[in-house]
């Protein structure tokens, strides 16, 4: 090979794009006016293509990704401290899950809210089961467990409660076929629920999954995806389960502090937002039984929740600048330096894309 050919070959080696990963990246970052409120969940509603932000004392904020602006706050949710939203699109119904134990119903089409309704001492989040057409609320636990409150979406009548022994009910997802999967974070378990009969039909212990938190499902392949925060003996991990038996199909280490797991059936990708280590784990589903980590994108501190616009192939998240003030209570169960003080006007809405 001539010297010129050798130089050209070397240049091509270093300039040809690698094809081993997707190339996910930060697409947009929008800073919105904010005071000192903390935040929790983010949700994407595909009907009007809006992002709903559980900004607690700022209320349930509605963010338009096209104009990159907040277009409204749902009802009086600022007074009730909104944790996030859930949707029943066939009933034109959105629900704000509020920290004070109220929920605020509103129309997805107009964003018009009705008065908030008290149903518990506190609400962390809710999940919609489109098979039973019911919402399941993760409520504040008592010393022995948690009463999950189940509500019919069509009438907003309380159908009953499902009593579970976990005091840390976390992420959940329904398969559309009558099975509802709930993470019991403090018991390293997944609970399988029937939201029609209001019963727990199975409990799957997961020794390979410390503190299961985020959940999504692949109904077509009968798989459940769980992001695990880890504990003293188990590292943070993605765990893939057989949705029929609970058998572990696959595990792989992820970053610390995951609060969300998202599966995109169109691209066969799984995503975990890991807020402690400030990264986004991206996995490929080759088939029902085979998965591989394809990239880990550096994000920002406390990017821990995700919502996806599956049509556009875009991920949404939120974060803010903050500090761990040692004079105040710190949630050491998450991290010894978990933020307890948010710096005003640093709240950001983020989108990630390929």
Predicted confidence at residue 21, as pLDDT, reads 85
C-alpha 52/C-alpha 42 separation (Å) is 6
Mean pLDDT, range 163-182, rounded to an integer? 97
pLDDT of residue 338: 84
CA distance 108 to 111: 5
Which tokens is 315 given? 């991920």
Residue 22 CB neighbours (<10 A): 16
Quick one: which of 61, 151, 155, 75 has its CA closest to 116?
Answer: 75
Strand stretches in 58-132, DSSP E = 60-64, 69-73, 82-88, 93-98, 102-107, 117-118, 123-129
pLDDT at 8 over 80: no
Helix (H/G/I), strand (E/B), else coil: 107: strand
Condensed to tens digits (0 to 9), the pLDDT of residues 196-253 reads 999 999 999 999 999 999 999 999 999 999 999 999 999 999 999 999 999 999 999 9
pLDDT of residue 4: 57
Give the model's pLDDT for residue 18.
Answer: 47
Residue 336: the pLDDT is 86
| Residue 260, pLDDT score | 95
Question: Cα–Cα distance between 93 and 321 in angstroms, integer?
Answer: 33
Nearest to 350 by CA among 273, 296, 259: 273
Query: What whole-number distance in Å separates Cα of residue 326 and Cα of residue 322?
Result: 13
| Range in 181-195, 307-321, 334-348 the model is least confident about | 334-348
Report the alpha-carbon distance of residue 354 to residue 340 in Å, rounded: 33
Q: Counting Cβ atoms within 10 Å, is residue 287 exposed (0-12), middle (13-18) or buried (19+)?
A: exposed
Least confident range of 120-124, 264-268, 326-330:
326-330
- Give pLDDT tens digits for 54-91: 999 999 999 999 999 999 999 999 999 999 999 999 99
Q: What is the dihedral of CA 134, 45, 112, 79, to 10 degrees?
A: 80
Percent of the chain with pLDDT over 90: 90
Check residues 37 and 318 and name the one with the higher pLDDT. Answer: 318
Run of H or E including 227: strand 223-228
Mean pLDDT rounded to a whole number for the chain: 94
Model confidence at 16, pLDDT cuts 50, 70, 90, reads very low
- DSSP helix/strand/coil, 106: strand
164 Cβ contact list (under 8 Å, min separation 6): 145, 146, 148, 182, 184, 191, 200
């Amino acid at each position: 090979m001539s010297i010129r050919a050798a130089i050209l070959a070397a240049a091509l080696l270093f300039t040809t794009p690698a094809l081993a990963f997707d190339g996910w990246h930060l697409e947009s970052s929008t800073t919105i006016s904010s005071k000192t409120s903390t935040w929790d969940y983010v949700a994407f509603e595909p009907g009007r293509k809006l992002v709903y932000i559980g900004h607690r004392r700022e209320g349930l904020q509605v963010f338009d990704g096209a104009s990159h602006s907040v277009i409204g706050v749902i009802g009086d949710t600022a007074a009730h401290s909104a944790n996030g939203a859930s949707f029943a699109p066939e009933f034109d119904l959105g629900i704000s899950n509020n920290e004070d134990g109220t929920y605020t119903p509103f129309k997805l089409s107009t964003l018009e809210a009705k008065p908030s309704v008290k149903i518990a001492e506190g609400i962390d989040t809710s999940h919609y089961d489109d098979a039973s057409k019911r919402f399941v609320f993760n409520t504040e636990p008592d010393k022995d467990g948690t009463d999950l409150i189940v509500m019919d979406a069509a009438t907003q009548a309380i159908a009953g409660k499902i009593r579970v022994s976990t005091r840390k009910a976390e992420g959940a997802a329904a398969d559309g076929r009558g099975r509802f999967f709930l993470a019991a974070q403090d018991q390293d378990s997944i609970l399988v629920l029937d939201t029609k009969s209001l019963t727990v039909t199975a409990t799957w212990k997961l020794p390979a999954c410390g503190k299961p938190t985020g959940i999504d499902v692949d109904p077509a392949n009968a798989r459940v995806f769980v992001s695990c925060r880890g504990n003293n003996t188990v590292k943070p991990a993605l765990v893939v389960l057989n949705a029929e038996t609970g058998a572990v199909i696959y595990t792989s280490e992820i970053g610390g502090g995951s609060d969300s797991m998202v599966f995109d059936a169109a691209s066969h990708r799984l995503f975990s937002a890991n807020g402690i280590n400030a990264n986004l784990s991206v996995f490929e589903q080759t088939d029902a039984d085979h998965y591989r980590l394809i990239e880990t994108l550096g994000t920002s501190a406390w990017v821990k929740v995700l919502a996806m616009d599956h049509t556009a192939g875009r991920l949404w998240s939120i974060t803010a600048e903050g500090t761990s003030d040692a004079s105040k209570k710190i949630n050491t169960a998450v991290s010894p330096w978990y933020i307890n003080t948010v710096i005003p006007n640093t709240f950001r809405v983020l989108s990630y894309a390929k």
